[in-house]
């Protein structure tokens, strides 16, 4: 991957970060922490990895993303808008009456969203179903799923993991957003996952680890994951909750769902170099 491509992804990630915060800011509150921790991943998926076509959201054979941690919907909406699925201005309708952009992803409302998710634990099973269906239909596409680390306390995540390994779904690539924080405290304080790498290995996955904010590493890791055969892949994404938005990073645990004032949005935009970003 050359420098120009990396620069393009970096700019895109900054745009997605800013658009997401502005959308949440327009409502006054939202899941800032978990939205920001997956910005780089979502950037790579939509702008460097997935085979998709914004002019044909239902294109057969397209890659799919299931956002099992559905509360990070605003990040995906920003990527979709930037990609051209709908106008950027629509992001400001987030969570407002009659919006097509609800907090948690809804396949029947938003162009480009392939699965409804929000009740934690279910999306990974849905992705397993999609991977089975894709294989049954002879498709060469990949099914991507993003789960949370707190979400991994749901028993259903492990039911889905068993099935993915049992059916040898090597068209399934799962990311765990390992930001190590959840609502009531750190993941270790609330309910430790022990060693998720060893756990997923024991569940029959190829396991890869990556710095979740390093764009070129994410690109390389996804390429690696696509070439692993015979097993599903789990990519443990080491991330920081609230990443890139200083007041959210500082809030730590309290960034899961937080109030966002217009002043905070303004400060964050300055930090992101918002104006220069769009004037280039």
Q: Give residues in contact with another protein (CB under 8 A).
A: 66, 106-108, 114-119, 121-123, 125-134, 136-137, 155-156, 159-160, 162-163, 166-167
Q: CB-wise, 107 or 253, nearer to another protein?
A: 107
Q: Which is nearer to another protein, 132 or 224 (CB)?
A: 132
H-helix or E-strand spanning residue 65 = strand 64-67
176, β-bridge pairs: 147, 236
Q: Which is nearer to another protein, 54 or 118 (CB)?
A: 118
Calpha distance 69→34 (Å, rounded): 9
Q: Name which of 205 and 247 has its Cβ closer to another protein.
A: 205
Nearest approach in angstroms of CB 138 to another protein is 11
Closer of 137 and 223 to another protein (Cβ): 137
Helix (H) or strand (E) run with residue 182 in it = strand 181-182
Least Å from the CB of residue 154 to another protein:
9
CB 31 within 8 A of CB 74: yes
Residues 9 and 44: beta-carbon distance below 8 Å:
yes
Alpha-helix residue ranges (DSSP H) falling in 196-261:
196-202, 215-227, 246-251
User: Please, which residues bridge with residue 186 across strands?
Assistant: 181
Decide whether 20 or 116 has the Cβ nearer to another protein.
Answer: 116
Query: Among 124, 237, 233, which Cα is nearest to 172's?
Result: 233
CB of 246 to another protein, least distance (A): 35
d(Cα 15, Cα 19) in Å, to the nearest integer?
Answer: 6
CB of 168 to another protein, least distance (A): 13
Cβ contacts of 106-112, under 8 Å, gap ≥ 24: 110/77, 110/80, 110/85, 110/86, 111/57, 111/80, 111/85, 111/86, 112/52, 112/54, 112/57, 112/80, 112/83, 112/85, 112/86
Question: How near is the Cβ of 87 to another protein at its closest, in Å?
Answer: 25
In the complex, minimum distance from the CB of residue 115 to another protein, in angstroms, rounded to a whole number: 5
């Amino acid at each position: 991957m050359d420098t120009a491509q990396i620069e393009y992804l970096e700019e895109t990630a900054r745009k997605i970060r800013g658009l997401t915060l502005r959308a949440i800011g327009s409502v006054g509150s939202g899941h800032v922490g978990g939205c920001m921790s997956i910005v780089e991943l979502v950037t790579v998926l939509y702008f460097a990895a997935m085979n998709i076509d914004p002019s044909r959201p239902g294109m057969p054979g397209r890659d799919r993303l299931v956002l099992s941690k559905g509360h990070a919907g605003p990040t995906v909406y920003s990527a979709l808008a930037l990609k051209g699925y709908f106008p950027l201005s629509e992001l400001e309708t987030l969570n407002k009456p009659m919006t097509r952009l609800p907090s948690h992803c809804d396949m029947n409302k938003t162009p480009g969203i392939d699965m409804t998710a929000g009740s934690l634990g279910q999306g990974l099973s849905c992705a397993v179903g999609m991977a089975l269906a894709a294989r049954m239909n002879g498709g060469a596409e990949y099914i991507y799923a993003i789960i949370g680390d707190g979400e991994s306390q749901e028993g259903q995540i492990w039911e889905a993991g068993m099935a993915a390994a049992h059916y040898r779904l090597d068209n399934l690539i799962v990311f765990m957003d390992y930001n190590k924080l959840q609502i009531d405290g750190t993941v270790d304080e609330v309910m430790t996952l022990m060693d998720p790498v060893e756990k997923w290995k024991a569940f029959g996955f190829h396991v890869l680890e990556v710095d979740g904010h390093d764009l070129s590493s994410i690109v390389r890791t996804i390429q690696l994951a696509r070439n692993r055969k015979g097993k599903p892949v789990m990519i443990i994404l080491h991330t920081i909750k609230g990443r890139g938005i200083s007041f959210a990073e500082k809030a730590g645990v309290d960034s899961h769902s937080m109030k966002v004032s217009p002043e905070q949005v303004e400060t964050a935009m300055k930090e992101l170099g918002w104006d220069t970003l769009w004037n280039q």
